[in-house]
Every structure is written in C-alpha cells, then in structure tokens.
C-alpha cells in the first residue's frame, strides 16, 4: 500500500476495533480477523459443527439475520422485485440499475420488513463472470455485518468487483472473508488429510480438498486457503504477458505516439502477475517478486509457450529465476507444477532443497 492508502486503512481498522470493543494494538487487522473467526466459532459451539461450508454459511446468515439471494438471470432479479417490491421497500428501486457488471453484490438494510422476515438482504450477482466469485461474495457480505456489529451504516451498499475495490472498508472485509470462507476447523483437517495422501501440495490436492468441503469456492480462492495451512515452503504464482514498470511508462508516453519510428516499442514478456507464499515459504528468505520475468527455460514458460502442454511438473534450478538487478532469488532445486489457463499460467513452486541468496541449500 502507498502511504496515504495505509493511513486510510489504519483509520478504518481503528474504527472497526472501536465498534467491536477491541483494544487498539499494533496488529489490529489480525485482532479483528481473529475476533470475527471467534464469533463464528461461538455459533458453531452452540449449534454444532457443520461438515461443509454451505452449512456453515447457513448458520452464519441465520445468526446475523441475513437473507442471501443469488441472481443468475434477469428473471431471478425480477422475481426478487416481485417478492419485495419498491412500493414496500423503497431502496429496492435502486437494485436493477446498481447490480451491474461492475458489482459482485449488494447488501440492503430493510426498513419495512415483516416480523418473520430478516432485516438484512444480500443480493449476490451470479451472472457471467460473477458466478466464479459467488462463494466469496457471500462471505464478504457476512464479513461486513460482523465487522460493523450488525449496524450497517447505510441502507444500500455495493460490493464492487475486486479490481474496483479501492475503499479501505472493502479491503478489511476481504481479509475477514478470506478467513471465514475457509473456516479452519472445517478446512484444515480435510486439507491436511489430502496433503498427507500425496505427500506434497499439488493442484490435485487442492481440487480434492475443494470438492470435499467447498465445491462452490473458486479454484483461486481455494489455492490461497491451502497455502495458508500448508506446512511446506510453497509459492503459488499466476503468470501472464506483461511489461516492466519503465516499459509501461514508455507505452504511455506521448512521445511514442508522436514519434513512433524513433521510440523503441518494448515487447511483452511472461511475468509474475500474482504471487502468494505459504508461511514456510515466506520465512525461507526466498522471494518471488511480483512482475519479475519468468525464465524462458522454466517449466512455467514452457507450459505457456507449448499449446499441447496444458500441464506439467518437474524440477529445475532456482538460480535461473533472476531479479531485475540480475541476481538469483535463491539457489538449489525447486519442484514446479504448472498448468495453462487461457492466457495465463498458474504454477506451484515447492522449495525442496533451496535456500535464499547468499546461503548454501
């Protein structure tokens, strides 16, 4: 985060802590996340442990007096507006225009609900690309209610798609939702069982875990959850064609448009668009840097270049992964599993006998 963004986020953390009655400490985000997970744990202790996240979500929404409605088509939206018409609940008049392609969900605080109806309504956009995020979107709305202590500050709140979520309140809700959506007491035992069967983290282990406890979750969200609980040093990277920062500035420069024959046009390279590490990987001293170029000899690059090689695994030298300054990110051997997904490559890098720069493996 930039300095100004960090200051805004810390202000949101302090406000949330005050609302929840939590002490102001240096690690406020972690304190808030733990508090919300503990609240969920209290409900589980009272009503019994669910076996899937579908059952857990049902428990959470019941305790929060929240109704969740999925909208997969315009017909679903029309049916919801027939059931709760704007004449009865005026804020519903905004729903048709606001639940657009830039919005994953909307939470409404109802003003004129019947005694048997829930006071909170979350409408989840499941049309098109939004369907892939519906599992996380539901937990995002639950997180907001937990953070705000069920005192929703506005009658109508949108949750924008991830690339448009710039408000610090949304960042905090995402952090809490990530912990709730893969509640450790349900997720970790199943994940560790699948990991034990294979002996290492693979995409198959991730898929089996997802099918058993969170079939509604996206593959991406499940990967990140597995990494949080993985005891081994593993990085997940998502790679696609891109430019270095100075190349991006060149492409945006007016000189390129004015003098196209005199300004060299940079060529895109396969680069790391996203990187997430397990706790052990982050403590290893080895860092896979965002936007670093993927080595041409790496299995990751070959999975991208070869249209017939949709997936592959193997071992390679970590020394070939070089930073922009020219030095390797580490030494030794790394296990790689890579698969191509349309214009991207997803890969798992397991640091088997690797060590950080300047250290012997």
Q: What is the mean pLDDT of each run of 10 residues along the chain (361 residues)?
A: 82 93 92 95 93 91 96 96 94 92 92 91 94 93 87 74 85 93 93 96 96 90 94 96 79 65 77 95 92 94 82 90 84 93 94 66 47
How many C-beta atoms lie closer than 10 Å to residue 292's C-beta?
A: 20
| Cα angle for residues 140, 274, 213 (degrees, 5° grid) | 45
Instruction: Give strand ranges (E) for 22-71.
Output: 66-71
Per the listing, tokens 């639940």 go with: 99
**How many Cβ atoms from other residues are within 10 Å of residue 36's Cβ?**
24
Half-sphere exposure at residue 76, Cβ-oriented, CA atoms within 13 angstroms: 12
Residue 360: per-residue pLDDT: 47
DSSP secondary structure letters along 251-281: HH-HHHHH-TTTSPPPPPEEEEEEEEE-HHH
Q: What is the rounded distance in angstroms from the CA atom of residue 148 to the CA atom of residue 302?
A: 48
Please give the CATH number for the structural domain made up of 232-361.
3.30.450.130
Where in the chain are the domains? 3-181, 183-231, 232-361
CB 319 within 8 A of CB 295: no
Write down the pLDDT at residue 361: 47
Angle at 273 between CA 139 and CA 209, to 5 degrees: 45
Is 0.75 topped by the overall pTM?
Answer: yes
Residue 51: what pLDDT?
83
């Amino acid at each position: 985060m930039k300095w100004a963004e960090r200051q805004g986020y810390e202000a949101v953390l302090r406000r949330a802590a005050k609302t929840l009655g939590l002490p102001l400490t240096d690690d406020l985000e972690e304190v808030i996340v733990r508090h919300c997970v503990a609240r969920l744990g209290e409900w589980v202790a009272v009503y019994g442990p669910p076996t899937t996240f579908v059952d857990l979500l049902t428990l959470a929404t019941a305790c929060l007096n929240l109704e969740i409605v999925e909208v997969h088509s315009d017909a679903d939206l029309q049916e919801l507006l027939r059931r709760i018409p704007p004449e009865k609940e005026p804020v519903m008049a905004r729903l048709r225009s606001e639940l657009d392609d830039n919005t994953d969900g909307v939470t409404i605080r109802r003003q004129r609900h019947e005694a048997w109806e829930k006071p909170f309504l979350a409408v989840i956009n499941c049309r098109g690309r939004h369907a892939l995020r519906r599992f996380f979107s539901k937990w995002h709305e639950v997180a907001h209610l937990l953070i705000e202590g069920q005192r929703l500050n506005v009658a109508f709140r949108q949750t924008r798609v991830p690339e448009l979520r710039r408000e610090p309140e949304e960042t905090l809700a995402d952090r809490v939702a990530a912990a709730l959506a893969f509640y450790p007491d349900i997720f970790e035992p199943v994940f560790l069982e699948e990991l034990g069967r294979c002996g290492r983290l693979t995409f198959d282990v991730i898929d089996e875990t997802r099918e058993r406890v969170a079939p509604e979750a996206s593959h991406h969200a499940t990967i990140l959850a597995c990494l949080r609980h993985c005891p081994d040093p593993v990085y997940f990277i998502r790679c696609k064609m891109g430019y270095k920062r100075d190349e991006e500035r060149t492409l945006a420069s007016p000189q390129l448009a004015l003098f196209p024959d005199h300004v060299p046009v940079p060529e895109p390279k396969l680069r790391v668009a996203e990187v997430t590490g397990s706790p052990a990987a982050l403590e290893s001293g080895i860092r896979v840097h965002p936007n670093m170029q993927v080595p041409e000899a790496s299995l990751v690059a070959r999975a991208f270049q070869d249209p017939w090689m949709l997936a592959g695994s193997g071992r390679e030298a970590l020394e070939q992964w070089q930073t922009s300054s020219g030095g390797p990110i580490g030494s030794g051997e790394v296990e790689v599993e890579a698969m191509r997904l349309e214009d991207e490559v997803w890969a798992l890098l397991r640091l088997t006998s690797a060590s950080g720069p300047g250290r012997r493996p």
